Amino acid sequence: MLDVQKLNAFYGPAQALFDVSLRVGAGELVVLQGLNGAGKSTLLKALMGLEVRSDGRILYQASQGAAGPVDIQRWETHRRALAGLGYVPEDRRLFTGLTVRENLRVAAGRDARAREARALDLFPALKTLLRRPAAQMSGGEQQMLAIARTLMTGPRVLLLDEPCEGIAPVLVESIREALLALKRDGLALLVAEQNRLFTTRADRTLLLVAGKVGDS
């Protein structure tokens, strides 16, 4: 589904990623590990076309039957999102003044009802919080909402930046279960994480060291 070849990324003159290659297929979970500053967030941003300048190839095929693969490396972020790339940034970027339901509706594309129902099935804790402003939720609840909101766009690929960082253990387990359910649904998941919550269920684990991929 996603076949990244020799991706380089730059902040101004400083190079942050060096010839990074990876593949994530439908129904696969690939975990991206590495210390602070290794380049995990940069890689996810480069895949989304955000903030960082990049070169290399990002071949994407939405599904088996779909035409392609196509190289989306030069596409604008919104076009990548429309094509099926979903991104949940580390800082979540929720609309904190809006309620849970409003955050979901803001993101709604086609099939809003069915997608909202599926998202709330995956995160039942959100069902009791629909009228709650996002600002008044715990970090874990906000993370669930951030993932649920991204699901409203109907992604085929999910890029998640440290989804369980700093979150209470009971909510970590819910998030983990929900992401594994999405994997079973056939989504391609690329998860950056420093702890090893997802590695046991990963199809592959990549280790980033100073912007380069090694084997872990």
Provide the binding-site residues for ligand ATP, judged by CB under 6 A. Answer: 11, 14, 16, 34, 36-42
Residue with smaller CB distance to ligand ATP, 15 or 136: 15
| Smallest separation, CB 209 to ligand ATP (Å) | 10
By beta-carbon proximity to ligand ATP, the closer residue of 16 and 85 is 16
Nearest residue (CB) to ligand ATP, 82 versus 210: 210
> Considering beta carbons, is residue 176 or 212 the nearer one to ligand ATP?
212
Residue 17 or residue 107: which is nearer to ligand ATP going by CB? 17
Residue 141 CA to residue 120 CA, distance in Å, equals 12
- 163: which residues sit within 8 A by CB, 6+ positions away? 88, 143, 147, 175, 179, 191, 193
* E strands present in the chain: 2-11, 14-24, 29-33, 53-60, 70-71, 85-88, 157-161, 188-192, 204-209, 212-215
Residue 53 CB, nearest distance to ligand ATP (Å)?
11
Contact 164, 176 (CB under 8 A): yes
DSSP 8-class letter at 176: H
* Minimum CB–partner distance for residue 90 and ligand ATP (Å): 6
In this structure, what is the dihedral angle of CA atoms 199, 201, 204, 205, given to the nearest 10 degrees? Answer: -10
Q: How far is the CB of 39 from ligand ATP (least distance, A)?
A: 4
Using an 8 Å Cβ cutoff, are 122 and 152 in contact? no
User: Considering the complex, what minimum distance in angstroms separates the CB of residue 26 from ligand ATP?
Assistant: 25
